[in-house]
Amino acid sequence: MNKNFIPTGYSKSIYEIDLDVLVSLGVKTILIDLDNTIVPYIQKEPSEKAKEFKSNLDKIGISLLICSNNKGKRVSHFANLLGVSYFHSLRKPFASRLLKALKQFNINKNECIFIGDQLITDILCANKAGIKSILTEPLHKKEPIWTKINRMFDKPIRRKLISKGLLKPISK
């Protein structure tokens, strides 16, 4: 099993993550994928759950930065409505633009965690960059064709991680 596919933790969704665990890990910034991680791919604006999640992070002093492969217009619109910073066109799984984002936003990679719903983009990128990561399940079945193709590679890796007990819960 390629260690670059093993996340630090696993949660069915971001909304089930135990935020106290993140605090205990020294997390000060969450880097989060947008589509099917914080809201479904088909949703253009933050949900009430997303707003509540951000509010709960604010209360414990954790900042949120959206890190997406998506184009700037979608990401900026969503991030501005949620009141968070963002970095678009990340080119995950390549780590160079993620590391650039960390530098641009003055984020210590030991004090952040990347949360995403895809092993071969989000988790691989985070692990290559030396950042803690949390894998979630996609929030919705509707996805663009390239993500459906990625899922064909993702599914057998997930099954292997599960069978080997390598998905450690980080949920409430």
Q: How many residues would you count in the chain?
A: 172
Contact between 22 and 30 under an 8 Å Cβ cutoff? The reply is yes
Contact between 39 and 47 under an 8 Å Cβ cutoff? The reply is yes
Q: Which of 140, 115, 118, 114 is nearest to 39 (CA)?
A: 140
| Rounded Cα–Cα distance for residues 156 and 172 (Å) | 26
What's the pLDDT band for 172 if we cut at 50, 70, 90?
low
Block residue for tokens 């996805």? 143
When computed from its CA atoms, the radius of gyration of the chain, rounded to whole angstroms, is: 15
Q: Chain-centre distance of CA 36, in angstroms? A: 10
pTM tops 0.85: yes
pLDDT digits (tens, 9 = 90+) for 37-55: 999 888 899 999 999 999 9
Burial (CB < 10 A; 0-12, 13-18, 19+), residue 146, is: exposed
- pLDDT of res. 1: 64
Contact between 30 and 112 under an 8 Å Cβ cutoff? The reply is yes
Q: Chain-centre distance of CA 165, in angstroms? A: 21
pLDDT digits (tens, 9 = 90+) for 102-160: 999 999 999 999 999 999 999 999 999 999 999 999 988 887 787 888 888 899 898 99
